[in-house]
Structure 1
């Protein structure tokens, strides 16, 4: 991928294991890392600290993608349709600010695209979208055992009960964007 087409997007939509599996399946996505962003404590936060909900961080994925293959807007549409952007600080059984629906934008162009997508998607959901749009500041990579979680743990119950239905929804809604 040429450097001029390489972009980075950072999204939080509940557990990062789910989002990582979804974005890894898309054409044009080079890498996906699970991590933390949006917090207000010094140093590199740990999963244990994040889980407490006291650091202000959200579980996020950082997606490196080729904008010649998939647009930032397309990534946002996939993001919005593969998690529930209408529940405040909650995704399924995961509850707390660390599971909030959030888009961390890199620049004003990304911010405007995110605002437009949220506005356009408003009619898709029965409830109001509560996804927060925040400026990106810093990404902290999560511990190694969180990376490639679905790929490395497909037999786990969480993967069957939570991640696989999201991947099925991805295939149903966005088959033309899959690798």
Structure 2
């Protein structure tokens, strides 16, 4: 297995985690916080917007089964990369769109993908997704892990996360994990 890491921030981690967890080649998805100055922040602290952290997911994946570029494509499909510090009704720097690159190769791919989107006006507005170097990732509290799976009837999950999961299931049906 060619194990690799990708870290994406694109709004609430409750919405991103279930999207990527269902994909073949994705080993684990951990919800957490990255990119701020507070050591070991709590959810309550991050929600204030004062810690500088973004809600994010850390994906461990098998690069021989799914590429970083494929993960990026899905990332850009399931959030709005044109809104600064906002995803829908979630507003604040903790909801910013960002990629935390693990190496120069990821940075090059991310920058090229964003340049292509902007050159072809794919989203109808400039992509504001930050391309950052890796930073310390703090796993979120246990109750945030697999939140969508554990709380599928929660109103936010039904209204915001479920449509994103369904969108990827429809578009990438051939890339989903098989249940066994």
1:14 aligns with 2:11: yes
CA RMSD of aligned residues (A): 1.0
1:97 aligns with 2:89: no
C-alpha separation in 2, matches of 1:26 and 1:125: 24
By how many angstroms is 1:175 displaced?
2.7
Aligned residues: 175
Secondary structure, aligned partner of 1:31: strand
Q: Which residue of 1 aligns with 2:128?
A: 130
1:166 aligns with 2:160: no
1:52 aligns with 2:39: no
C-alpha separation in 2, matches of 1:121 and 1:80: 10
By how many angstroms is 1:76 displaced?
0.4
Q: How does 1:79-118 map to 2 (within 5 A)?
A: 79-118=75-114
Of 17, 27, 31, 2:28 maps to 31
Secondary structure, aligned partner of 1:12: strand
Q: Which residue of 2 aligns with 1:146?
A: 144
Secondary structure, aligned partner of 1:124: coil
By how many angstroms is 1:157 displaced?
0.9
Normalization by structure 2: what TM-score?
0.94
By how many angstroms is 1:34 displaced?
0.2
Unaligned 5+ runs, structure 2: none
C-alpha separation in 1, matches of 2:126 and 2:83: 9
| Structure 1, 169-178 or 65-74: larger mean CA deviation | 169-178
By how many angstroms is 1:83 displaced?
0.5
Contact 1:88–1:130 under 8 Å retained in 2 = yes
Contact 1:23–1:29 under 8 Å retained in 2 = yes
Deviations 1:137-160 (A, max 9, x none): 210000000000000000111111
C-alpha separation in 2, matches of 1:119 and 1:176: 28
C-alpha separation in 2, matches of 1:161 and 1:121: 27
